[in-house]
Structure 1
Amino acid sequence: MKLKWFFPVFILLLSIAACSSNSEGSDKSSSGGKGPEQTESETLNKKDIAFSEQEERVEKAEDTDGKKSGDTSPESSGRKVIYNADLQLKVNNYTEVQGKLEKKAISYGGYIVQSQTSTFEEEQLSGTMVFRIPQKNFQSFLHDAEGTAEEIAHRNVSGQDVTEEFVDLESRLRSKKAVEARLLSFMDEAEKTEDLLKISADLAAVQEEIEQLAGRKNFLQNQTDYSTVTVSLEETNILVPNVDQASDLNTWQKVKKQLAVNINFLLALVSGIIVLIAGNLPILILIGMVLLTIWIFLRKKKRMNHLPPQEKKY
């Protein structure tokens, strides 16, 4: 009975051993024919494939996160909105209102970007000022600016929602930084010069994109943190001088000024005549000689016409 079960078990063990030896031999034959260079190239290709797949996975994950998050900022739940305001105000005293607005802007943590003043008909003042005000104080500054005016000629407030662009920039920045880290790890593992050059070129391109994305993000952040307010002021009152104060008339000074102007005009006229005569003296002498000759000839001819016929010489 024992011999009856021994032969089938022995044959089964032999078949299992034969199958395992064949599989090991096939693996060795498939890998044994390749040299070290081919193995290294395959390793680099596998790294490139893994790198591409990881980049795609990161970008897809970031896009999915951005879509799920909708229009909310990753840093806060508020929206990213760029506010701009344009006010045209009519005021009684331009200088006083200008000083008040400048002080208000500084007290709110803002600053002046541009200030321009001009005079209309030598009496009325007008000008334009551009302020950058923190967004949290935007409405308060508008209310204060309108409170200084006698009349609001024009008011325009606009906002641009850049939340979606801001979120997209942050997602792309995280994706590119992950790619940058992966390229740096590849550079540490690379052994050939050509591989290092290729990875360096890819790394430079990725870092340039990171700088561009970071610059755009910083610009949007600044635009949303500070609102732009343009205030145009126009003075309505006309300043009338007091005529009862003799000291303000400056009569004697005006007389001396007018006298000096007339003397300068006469001196300039005389100087011009002298320069004209002296500079054109040769031409004047030539013209004088020609005129003198013509005059002498005409005078002689006239005298001959008045002589008796017998005294005329033909």
Structure 2
Amino acid sequence: MKRILPFSLVIITALILAACGGASAESPVQLVDNYSVSGGAPVAQDSALPASAPEARAAEESAANTGSGVSAAAVERIVIKNADLAIVVSDVEGRMKNIQIMAEQMGGFVVSSNLYQSFTSDYIEVPEAQIVIRVPSDQLEKAMDQIKKDTVEVQTENISGQDVTAEYVDLQSRLKNLEAAEAQLDEILKKATETEDVVNVFNQLVYYREQIELVKGQIKYYEEAAALSAISVRIIAEETIQPVVIGTWEPKGVALEAVQNLIDFLKGFTEFLITFVIYILPVLIIIFLSLYLVFLGVRALFRKMRGNKVRNEQPQDVSVEKK
């Protein structure tokens, strides 16, 4: 058994090295080793398994020549598509509900929705909403058209795509080799009789099963992200973008900016006058009146003290003259 175990571990190491070698040959980005997608976790390197250098090198070359039989060109492209929209509507709450219903009818779902209050340039409170939905990627354009339908204005519209085919193929190759290593370890564990051998093989088996679950999770993320596109929609009330109209004249361009600045200045100046008359002026009057009363009191006190001093000095002057 002690002779079988090292040789079997060499085979396992060769399979793992083949997985790493195949991944690096197919893509310059090793997503599994440093996974950046939310929910993923870094996968540790598989160099901890014992193996002699010549045997490991020979096994790696053999596995690389065999290959996994999977390439990025041989599989369907995996593209993650997402979109962002900002629309202006007359009924914010009603449009948000319609988008929710549309997503469910298309086989998607609502990721998040938020209805809150915003303010116009005239400080009028109006509703505004933010909603994120997921719909099947093949219906992304149809969903975008329905969202834009009957809107007052579409302020922004962005569609982005990310091709993750190479990363997906790397993960599939990695998973295949990890599962082959797991099967080999299962066989070794069944034949092991020594307690130390059983513990070592079991620990390695647990490690590889953890790696398999991580890779499966990453593969599932790519599949779901490619199958369902995310659409983020900001819904703005029509009152927020009402144009400036002076009589029958509707200024545009530089004139509109100048008129808007003038209106903002007049509103700010008017608000300052109101605040000054109602709040600042009464406070100043109270402060100055208090200071004036204190001044009158201090002045009266000094006059009184001066008068007492003069009266005290007059009898002394009279007595000196009599003598």
TM-score using structure 1 length: 0.60
The verdict on how the C-alpha distance between 1:59 and 1:89 changes in structure 2, with shifts beyond 3 A counting, is farther
The verdict on how the C-alpha distance between 1:115 and 1:52 changes in structure 2, with shifts beyond 3 A counting, is closer
Task: Tell me how far apart the structure 1 counterparts of residues 183 and 131 of structure 2 sit (CA, whole Å).
Answer: 47
Q: Secondary structure at the match of 2:313?
A: helix
Question: Going by fraction, where is helix more abundant, 1 or 2?
Answer: 1
Is 1:300 the counterpart of 2:308? The answer is yes
Deviations, residues 192-212 of structure 1 (Å, cap 9, x unaligned): 122112212221221121121
The answer on whether the counterparts of 1:138 and 1:227 sit within 8 Å (CA) in structure 2 is yes
Task: Tell me how far apart the structure 2 counterparts of residues 309 and 54 of structure 1 sit (CA, whole Å).
Answer: 126
Alignment of 1:1-314 (within 5 A): 40-52=1-13, 56=18, 60=64, 63-67=67-71, 70-72=73-75, 78-116=76-114, 117-120=116-119, 121-237=123-239, 298-307=306-315, 309-311=317-319
Task: Tell me how far apart the structure 2 counterparts of residues 230 and 71 of structure 1 sit (CA, whole Å).
Answer: 33
Q: Secondary structure at the match of 1:112?
A: strand
The verdict on how the C-alpha distance between 1:41 and 1:64 changes in structure 2, with shifts beyond 3 A counting, is closer
Q: Secondary structure at the match of 2:70?
A: helix
> Which 5+ residue runs of structure 1 have no aligned equivalent?
1-39, 73-77, 239-292
Please tell me the root mean square deviation across aligned C-alpha atoms, in Å: 3.6
The verdict on how the C-alpha distance between 1:207 and 1:90 changes in structure 2, with shifts beyond 3 A counting, is same
Task: Tell me how far apart the structure 2 counterparts of residues 201 and 62 of structure 1 sit (CA, whole Å).
Answer: 28
> Which 5+ residue runs of structure 2 have no aligned equivalent?
19-58, 241-300
Q: Secondary structure at the match of 1:191?
A: coil
The answer on whether the counterparts of 1:59 and 1:175 sit within 8 Å (CA) in structure 2 is no
The amino acid of 1:89's aligned partner reads I
Deviations, residues 7-56 of structure 1 (Å, cap 9, x unaligned): xxxxxxxxxxxxxxxxxxxxxxxxxxxxxxxxx43333343345445665
The amino acid of 1:48's aligned partner reads L
The verdict on how the C-alpha distance between 1:184 and 1:97 changes in structure 2, with shifts beyond 3 A counting, is same
Task: Tell me how far apart the structure 2 counterparts of residues 170 and 211 of structure 1 sit (CA, whole Å).
Answer: 12
The verdict on how the C-alpha distance between 1:128 and 1:299 changes in structure 2, with shifts beyond 3 A counting, is same
Aligned length in residues = 222
Task: Tell me how far apart the structure 2 counterparts of residues 102 and 130 of structure 1 sit (CA, whole Å).
Answer: 9
TM-score using structure 2 length: 0.58
Deviation, structure 1 residue 165: 1.8
The amino acid of 1:88's aligned partner reads A
Task: Tell me how far apart the structure 2 counterparts of residues 206 and 224 of structure 1 sit (CA, whole Å).
Answer: 27
The verdict on how the C-alpha distance between 1:87 and 1:194 changes in structure 2, with shifts beyond 3 A counting, is same
